[in-house]
């Protein structure tokens, strides 16, 4: 069905692998189109977590495809940037958590893809960066938006202005990634985390993601009120009834997403 992405089911977890090894998984319009189609048809009722990774051990996503971008004019550049940004926004707002399993290079569009995910786990050979200013452009897939929110204004400006890549341990230190593991452990750790998430009440996890995303820019009082409303709605679910009954009976809960 797809030429540049591979999908694999692991019970309640779906793995999406970007597979364009000749270009180190660089993002072109076709790959973005395939990811967009995949996200539009992703069954959030069947799968409770999504893992995104890159094919091979050298690169998660080495960036956007420079050969495609080199001759773009202004309107075409805006269209290409908007396309990538829109796909990444779908990842950010997907109704299930998304884990980036970052193996190797995560530069430019690759770093931006990882930042659109909820959680980032990387291998010890990972490299992160936004090198666009060295090409005469800026990050175009929402990198200037998300990087500052993740690592702070000062560090984001330093990384974007210099275009320098950082190693995995530095990415962990500044809060860009959640964990660093060996290459051999990467997918096992990502699946372990995904399965931990998938074991919980899916409607509650969905509600928690909705709250965290929505409340980030809200004034404190507004955010607290918003959370209280979503919290209340949880009590209309079968999962809440089952979860609390199981807790009181010292049993393992079974969640059906209802």
For residue range 122-173, list pLDDT tens digits in order: 999 999 999 999 999 999 999 999 999 999 999 999 999 999 999 999 999 9
Is the same domain home to 215 and 95? no
Q: Is residue 63 part of a domain?
A: yes
How many distinct structural domains can be found in the chain?
2
Quote the CA–CA distance of 52 and 101 in Å, as a whole number. 6
Q: What is the mean pLDDT of each run of 10 residues along the chain (258 residues)?
A: 95 97 95 98 96 95 93 96 97 98 97 98 98 96 97 98 98 98 97 97 96 94 96 95 93 90
Look up the domain containing 124 and give its range: 5-198
Q: Which CATH number characterizes residue 223's domain?
A: 1.10.12.10
What DSSP line would sit under 54-75, residue for residue? ESSSSEEE--B-HHHHTT--HH
Is the same domain home to 55 and 119? yes
Quote the CA–CA distance of 253 and 258 in Å, as a whole number. 13
Residues 6+ apart with CB under 8 A from 4: 18, 19, 20, 30, 31, 34
**Pick the catalytic residue: 34, 57, 132, 192?**
132
Q: Is residue 28 part of a domain?
A: yes
Q: Is residue 43 part of a domain?
A: yes
Query: For position 1, what pLDDT does the model report?
Result: 83
Longest distance between any two alpha carbons in the chain, whole Å = 65
Query: Quick check: is 215 catalytic?
Result: no
For 207-225, write each residue's pLDDT tens digit.
999 999 999 989 999 999 9
Q: Is residue 131 part of a domain?
A: yes
Is the same domain home to 28 and 136? yes
**Pick the catalytic residue: 68, 112, 170, 251?**
112
Is the same domain home to 174 and 224? no
Query: Quick check: is 112 catalytic?
Result: yes
Q: What is the DSSP letter of 200?
A: S
Query: For position 88, what pLDDT does the model report?
Result: 98
Quote the CA–CA distance of 246 and 129 in Å, as a whole number. 46
Query: For position 257, what pLDDT does the model report?
Result: 87
Query: For position 233, what pLDDT does the model report?
Result: 95
Quote the CA–CA distance of 197 and 54 in Å, as a whole number. 22
Q: Is residue 253 part of a domain?
A: no
């Amino acid at each position: 069905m797809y030429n540049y992405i591979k999908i694999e089911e692991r019970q309640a977890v779906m793995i999406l692998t970007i597979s364009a090894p000749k270009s180190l998984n660089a993002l072109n319009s076709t790959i973005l189109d395939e990811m967009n189609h995949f996200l539009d048809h992703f069954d959030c009722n069947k799968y409770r977590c999504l893992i995104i990774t890159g094919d091979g051990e050298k690169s998660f996503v080495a960036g956007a495809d420079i050969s495609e971008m080199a001759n773009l004019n202004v309107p075409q550049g805006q269209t290409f940037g908007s396309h990538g940004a829109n796909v990444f926004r779908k990842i950010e707002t997907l109704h299930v958590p998304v884990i980036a399993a970052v193996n190797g290079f995560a530069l430019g569009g690759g770093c931006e893809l990882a930042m659109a995910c909820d959680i980032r786990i990387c291998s010890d050979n990972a490299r992160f960066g936004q090198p666009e200013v060295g090409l005469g452009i800026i990050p175009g897939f929402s990198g200037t938006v998300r990087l500052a929110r993740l690592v702070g204004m000062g560090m984001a400006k330093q990384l974007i202005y210099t275009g320098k890549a950082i190693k995995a341990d530095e990415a962990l230190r500044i809060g860009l990634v959640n964990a660093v593991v060996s290459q051999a452990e990467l997918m096992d750790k990502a699946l372990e985390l995904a399965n931990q998430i998938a074991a919980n009440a899916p409607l509650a996890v969905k509600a928690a993601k909705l709250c965290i995303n929505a409340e980030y820019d809200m004034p404190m009082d507004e955010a607290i009120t918003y959370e209280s409303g979503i919290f209340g709605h949880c009590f209309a679910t079968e999962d809440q009834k089952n979860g609390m009954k199981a807790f009181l009976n010292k049993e393992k809960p079974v969640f059906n997403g209802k």
